[in-house]
Structure 1
Amino acid sequence: MSKLVWVLLPLAAYALYVAVSAWRGRAPSRVALNVQTSLLLLVYLLATAGLGVFWVANQQLPVFDWHYLFGYGTLLLVSVHLLFNLPQVLRGLRRASPPATGNVRRARTTLARALAIVAALGLAFFLGVRHGASELAVRWDGGASTAGPVDAVVRYHAFSSESRRRQFERAPGVDWGAPPPAFKRYPAAPHRPLARDGGRERSLDEALRAPAERRVPLTLAELGELLYLSAGVTARRGGLALRAAPSSGALFPSELYLIVRRVEGLPAGLYHYDAERHRLAALGAPPQDLGTPGLEDADAVVVLTAVFRRTGYKYRDRAYRYAVADAGHLLENLRLAGHRAGMAVTFAGRFDEARSAAALGVDGVEEGVLAVAALHSATGAAPRPAAPPRGWFAAPPFPAGPAVGVTGMAHLATSLRWTPDGVGDGDIALPAPVPAAAGVADTLVKRRSQRRFLDRPVPLAALSSLLADVAQPPQLSDALRLYLVVNRVAGLGPGVYRYRPGHALQRVRDGDFAAAARSAALSQDVIGEAAVVLLLSAERGALLAEGARGYRHGYLEAGMLGQRWLLGAVARGLAACPVGGFYDDEAAALIGVDGRREWVLHFAALGWPAP
């Protein structure tokens, strides 16, 4: 039975006794009721005090649950006790003893007092739980924009903040239900017991700085030690299985999964770490798509998830804060234990949570992926630079009604979606680019800004090659986006397009926008007469993610991209001209973005040079 049932059971039994006695015509007298409720009050008071002392001495939060539940029972009994004794107290204060006359009057007075107490307690409950409730009306569309998710995180932080002035404010209620099991189990899966291999001890100072050198694969026993030191059960006290990493309220929402590729004594596969029994549950073959590009050469990959309800049933809307902080404690254990074993531990800063959750077989909402770490044998050699991922990350779409309220919203807002290189649905594939054969020195010397163009279309192949020149890996800022206003391109209709990774164009708007582009660029003919106009923009959140220095880097990056556009045009016999003067609001409207969240930084015209 639940704790609340156990706490209320004596009260319910006593209420049943009184009801049956009254039904049989043997209702207890007022004095008997007073004495009996006083004895019950004494029992509850002693239980509350005893549990409180035990909780303070041992800091056991489950005991604290019993403590405050018995406290509510005590409050109820105190109310009943006062109901019987308040008249005597008042008479003593008034130094008078006017007796109440008539049983009916006495009964009505008693009932009125009881109803008043119940109403007051009900009002307090309403104010404490429901008053000020409101919704976080934050939605966003999936895509490269981070404005919506950033707003969601800011709103979540405000709603989950505590202050003395905001005790009555609450985010949307969630039925957290009873606490879920403390350990996740896979009873039908084959299990592999884990040993512990202490290995050669290292000082904390050494492990904090670098992994020990090793040139052989990790062994199964060493893996067992690594997992034990990261998240294993290191003590049992007061009915709790305490772990190597701390957790708010000793609730331990974190779970560990492993994708094993090279561990001596353990077949490659997907595993779940059962911390309760210190063993691995074999869940199948290694997943092909973990949503984390660049980790294919890792000896093993550790994926950390959080079962949010373990924390949420107690801490409600602050659950995401606590669950993620708990995960951070565990990850530092993992890093230190890995270094001790001679394994370099690399955390993936970006990964696709939905793909990772699907690879593990979890829903991604009730149990969400928080972190991915790669384990490599530390050989002492300089780490190889990872090849740039062939694709891009963007914000995931917002679903209707996350299962765990603002906690689910916060998790989704901090998640990403990975799109591999390739042409997406509705995108226009560009022809293969043709490298420019012109020399660097000759191109740099011959480049001049051309402000007059022929009324002649630019070949699509030439535009494709020029865009391939521009779309090199970012040097200082990855916040920039490329848009095109197409006026005259053979094989491509007029309109506004966005250049997408995978060498494709996404149609933003159809139609003739030459006049709108001219107007936005301070009515300059060089833009109005161009065959193609390049617009470079930056998403504000990504641009300023690392502070104000990002603003400088964004313009430096825009200039570098613009220079590639100019030089690529010269190398192919075309002409181009950069333009820095434009109406920012009209430029944003031209490419269909919110100018408060995406800033246009640069214009550049392209066409055949007029004589």
Structure 2
Amino acid sequence: MVDSFAQHYHQRTKYDPETIASKSQGLDWSQQPSSYKEYKIGTNYDLKPYLKSTKQDPDSIWWQRLSLFLLCSYGLTARIQTMGEPMYLRAAPSAGGLYPAEIYLVSRGNKFLPAGLYNYQVKDHTLIHFWANDVWQNVQVACFMHPALMAAELTLITTAVFNRSAWRYQDRAYRRIFLDTGHLLGNIELAGSMNGFRPYLIGGFVDRDINETLYLNAEQEAAVTVIPLVDIDAYPDLVVPAFPSGLPSRINLEYPDLPDGRLLNYCHQMTEITEFRQLPANLADLNPVQLDDKYNFPFCLKVSTKTAPINWQDTLPLSGLEDAILKRRSTRSFTGAGLTIEDLKALLDFTYHPQHYVEQNLDPNPNYFDLSLIETFVAVSGVEGLEEGCYYYAPRAQELRQIRFKNFRQELHYLCLGQELGRDAGAVIFHTADLQMAIQKYGDRVYRYLHLDAGHLGQRLNLAAMRLELGVSGIAGFFDDRVNEVLGIPEGEAVLYITTLGCPA
């Protein structure tokens, strides 16, 4: 059977012990791309004064909500001094601290923000209004008249600046770019709940039209998601009709034999929706269908993960969540000590069961692309109260099912490219997907959706770990086929992401 281009790209960008050295290259730090995009012309809206504002008039409250929303989504949260320019960390984690995403804001036109295009200037927490013409209808048409765009006055568009990540990670950077954007989507979802905005995730749009609307050079930067923000504080009873987050693209079975270095950009082209197409007569056919949990062996150990939800309330509602977002850091090393089974249950509960948090005013049904396509495995090396081995996590049943029976610390150390995080973690969580089955549903574009969803889940794990005072770090560099061997899963199951959990050193 001929592989589609997404399958071909995934296979070509696997890390393998015998070839990884030949593909690595020294980094010329003088050529590292900037992580910030600057616009020289436009009207600036400074959001910093609203972070500490105590004014209670409606206009000031609206600006404060928007300012906190953007800060908690992607704002600067820490400054690290280096030998050269200081490095600034952001609310959403990024592989290598390269931050490939940009955030644009499209205004329909309201009393606060005139119609047009804005870029979120992360470095100084401002919005710059760089295009003053109304482009809202362009976005609506490019997004197949998504109903959330009828209800919203503001829309975020996230883009990827390819070379920020490709400079270091070469062709495999495409995976990392979408995982990093998935982290950002996790923050956008939760920051929206904290500040009275309901984000609606759109991944199905005509790429060329959105790129042209933003005046992007699509060879260097391209749109990844469109996210209308419905103001639920202003319109609490507004109902937006259901519409799938993801739409399919072509399945590309014919493609050239490309050399290394050209796979990333070509993969993005092959995952584009290039023209307006007739939507399926029944849009419900594209909605995620919750399949039965896999790996339900009759005699395997099954451990219930049902537990009380994490409490995100401190002095104010959800202030514990805001604190976790702003203080989140990737752990650099673990002590090797175990976490508890109650910790693991709480992590899984927050990540996979948002409906348990409705009483804390979090969205019980946040948008993903299609979580039914993603499987979760947990390698347990040090969890007090849980036998060592590999487990399949069954979210519908809320239980862990043991599928392998040994301590895999050494194998985890090796498959994580020798990173001690894999060896010393108490638990390592793997997200995987049957790539061929996913492509049959969404075409090659599903490669984007899978990594965005995996990153989104990973960010919820990050924040839950922060709240529980655990260490956590995501890993996107691993020996792909070795992971399949350790987990005992088929070769066609693509490994998307790894999250390590443990006690921080």
- TM-score, length-scaled by structure 1: 0.39
- TM-score, length-scaled by structure 2: 0.47
State the structure with bigger RCO (CA 8 A, min sep 6), 1 or 2: 2
